[in-house]
Structure formats: C-alpha cells, structure tokens
Amino acid sequence: MTTLLLGLLVGLIATVLVVPRLRDWFKKIKVQQLVMRTGGNGPDHAAKAGTPTMGGAGFIPVVVLGFVILALATGHAAPTGWATLIAIIVFALVGGFDDSIKIFNHRDEGFRFLPKLTAQIVAALLAMLVLYLGKFDFVLALPFGLGEINSVVVYALFTIFWLVGWSNATNLTDGLDGLASGTAIIAYVAYLIIALMQGDMSMVLLDALMIGALLGFLVFNHYPATIFMGDTGSLALGAGLAMNALVLHREWSLILIGFVFMVETLTVMIQVTSYHFFKKRVFLMTPIHHSFEKGGLTGNTDKPWNEWQVDSFFWAVGLIVAILYFILFK
C-alpha cells in the first residue's frame, strides 16, 4: 500500500508542478495545435487552435523518472515493470517525433507509416527482450478456453500487434478535452488492481505513477483544456495499457478494460469501409465521440452534446465495463 500511495503522490504532485511550466514554454515557442476543425457540418473546434500540445512530454517523463528512482529505492524493479517502461518510452518518442513534424512543418501528416511502424515494432521487440532475460513465461492463453500457445515467436507477434493496435486506438480517442486521459485513468486503475491481486509490486508502482500523473495532467486537460497530450502522450498511454495486459497475463482483458478505445477504433474502420464500398456513412462522424458531439446518444443533430457530456458518458461506459470485467473474470 505504501508503494501505491507513493507512486500516486509522486506522479500527481510532480505533474502538477511540471505541466503548467511546460505549457507556458510551449506557448512561447509555438508548440501548439494547428488545425482543430472536424470538417463539414461537424463540431467546430477552431477556437482550440493555438492551444499548446505535446503535453505527454510533461507527464510521461514524470512516470519514467519516478519509476527508475522509486523502483531502485524500494526494490520493486521486476522485468515486467522495466519492459513496460521501455515500451512507454519508445512509443512516447515516436509520438513526440510525430507531433514535431506536424507542428514545425505545418502539415497534417506526421511520421510516415513505414518508419513509424518500424519504430513501434522495435519497441515491442525490446520489451520482449527484457521479459525474455527475466525468464518471462511466454504462454498465450486463447480466449473461450480454447487452450494455450507456448511459443516465444507467437507471443512476440501478438505483442507487436497488441502494442501497435492499442496505442493507435488510444490515439484515436484523444479527440476531446480530457477524454483520453480520463478513460486511461479508469483503465490503469483496473490494471493496478490486477497487479495488486498478483503481487507484482513493480507494476503496482508503475501504474500508480501513471494514474497520479494522469490525474495531475487532467487538471489542465479537462474542458476547456489549456494543453493537449498529443501523440507523445496518447501513443505512450496505449502502449502502457497493452503491456499491462501482456505482463500480467490478462492479454484479452483489454477488450473490456479498454472497451472505449476499441469502440473508437472499430467505428473508424466501419465508417471507412462502408464509405469506400457503398459511399454511405454509418455514423454521423468518426471517431465515434464526434458523433456524440454532433447528435448526442440519439443522433439528433438538433440536440448536440457538449464536451463535458461526451466525456462523462464515455468515462461512465469505461468504468461500467471495467467493473464488468472483474465481475466476470475474478
């Protein structure tokens, strides 16, 4: 419990101290959101243009440095924690490079697909290497009691798929003030509980630091946000969640614990596929949070939701589904 509280407090206090200073500096050097229009008849976010972004550069280093110092000081330095930390660092660097290209080159497209994917694969393999050296049990349990696969190669491929998929899912969710950070807090709390149940204090420390840091960041990121996390933060958050599921051997848990992130991604895939083949849109807008902005729960464009309503609804869904996971899979 001391480790948990220490991680929470260090993450929270350090982030609250660091982020406003980073935000003010980013304002001076114009590290800011360039385009905030969703297009067409969608919600108009033009007023947010100029808001500092890359806020992940504020809270991710807090988590990284906090973990390195506290893990060594407390002795909770297990391979599971280090592997997860490596994934978070590399994905944050990829996101930071992506943000930098967009901001300083004044273009919508950031890091090109192939180099970005290559970097993400390298991150996954580095995490796998740390786990391998720590004699991790590379057994992938299949869903619905279909057995298990004991293969390092299969687990490596699954790790790459899980990290790339969930990091990008989290990135898609980061479209409204506080939406991704609030949803991620709920998911990380769920994994902190699982880590406590398993006695993995290294992951308890890391997750507590992340929760504290996200709570501190949410102070400045809730509507109306004074700073956005950018890809620097969102890709790292998703990678951290994927690694939690992997190292705690609850690989498929993200389908429920990360339900909001999954739905955001699926709606984009459905929308793109439908429009490509049938020239019809299934949803008002995607990612799906923009549909709720535009027409609320009913899709009635005469009754749009504000950002607080959308955030609250998505956070509630995330919380309910996370609780459902613990009811179904104790």
Q: Give the count of beta carbons closer than 10 Å to the beta carbon of residue 41.
A: 10
Query: Which pLDDT does position 239 carry in this prediction?
Result: 97
Higher pLDDT pick, 44 / 39 = 44
- Distant-in-sequence contacts of 304-308, Cβ < 8 A, 24+ apart: 304/43, 306/223, 307/176, 307/177, 307/178, 307/179, 307/223, 308/223
The 10s digit of each residue's pLDDT in 103-139 is 888 666 777 888 888 988 998 999 999 999 998 999 9
Q: Do the Cβ atoms of 101 and 107 come closer than 8 Å?
A: yes
**Token couple for 115:** 């180099």
Q: Give the count of beta carbons closer than 10 Å to the beta carbon of residue 235.
A: 34
Query: Which pLDDT does position 112 carry in this prediction?
Result: 80
* Reduced DSSP (H G I as helix, E B as strand, rest coil) percent helix, strand, coil of the chain, to 5: 70, 5, 25
Query: Which pLDDT does position 44 carry in this prediction?
Result: 62
Checking if the pLDDT of 195 tops 70, the result is yes
When pLDDT is cut at 50, 70 and 90, the band that residue 43 belongs to is low
> What single-letter amino acid sits at 253?
S
Checking if the pLDDT of 168 tops 90, the result is yes
Query: Which pLDDT does position 48 carry in this prediction?
Result: 81
The 10s digit of each residue's pLDDT in 57-80 is 999 999 999 999 999 999 999 999
- Distant-in-sequence contacts of 144-148, Cβ < 8 A, 24+ apart: none
Radius of gyration of the chain (CA): 19
When pLDDT is cut at 50, 70 and 90, the band that residue 49 belongs to is confident
When pLDDT is cut at 50, 70 and 90, the band that residue 213 belongs to is very high
Q: 200 φ, ψ to 5°? A: -90, 90
Q: How far apart are CA 86 and CA 79, in angstroms?
A: 10
Give Cα 66 to chain centroid, integer Å. 19
Cα three-residue angle 112-115-117, rounded to 5 degrees: 95
Average pLDDT of 250-259?
Answer: 97
Place of tokens 């990290």: 163
What percent of the chain has pLDDT above 90?
81
Average pLDDT of 255-275?
Answer: 96
Checking if the pLDDT of 38 tops 70, the result is no
Average pLDDT of 289-313?
Answer: 93
Query: Which pLDDT does position 294 carry in this prediction?
Result: 93
Could you tell me the sign of the dihedral formed by the alpha carbons of 110, 113, 115, 116, in that order?
positive
The 10s digit of each residue's pLDDT in 21-33 is 999 999 999 888 7
Query: Which pLDDT does position 114 carry in this prediction?
Result: 87
When pLDDT is cut at 50, 70 and 90, the band that residue 41 belongs to is low
Residue 141 pairs in a beta bridge with: 148
What average pLDDT does the structure give for the chain? 92
Checking if the pLDDT of 40 tops 90, the result is no
Query: Which pLDDT does position 42 carry in this prediction?
Result: 61
Cα three-residue angle 226-176-286, rounded to 5 degrees: 155
The 10s digit of each residue's pLDDT in 77-90 is 999 999 999 999 99
When pLDDT is cut at 50, 70 and 90, the band that residue 45 belongs to is confident
Q: How far apart are CA 71 and CA 9, in angstroms?
A: 15
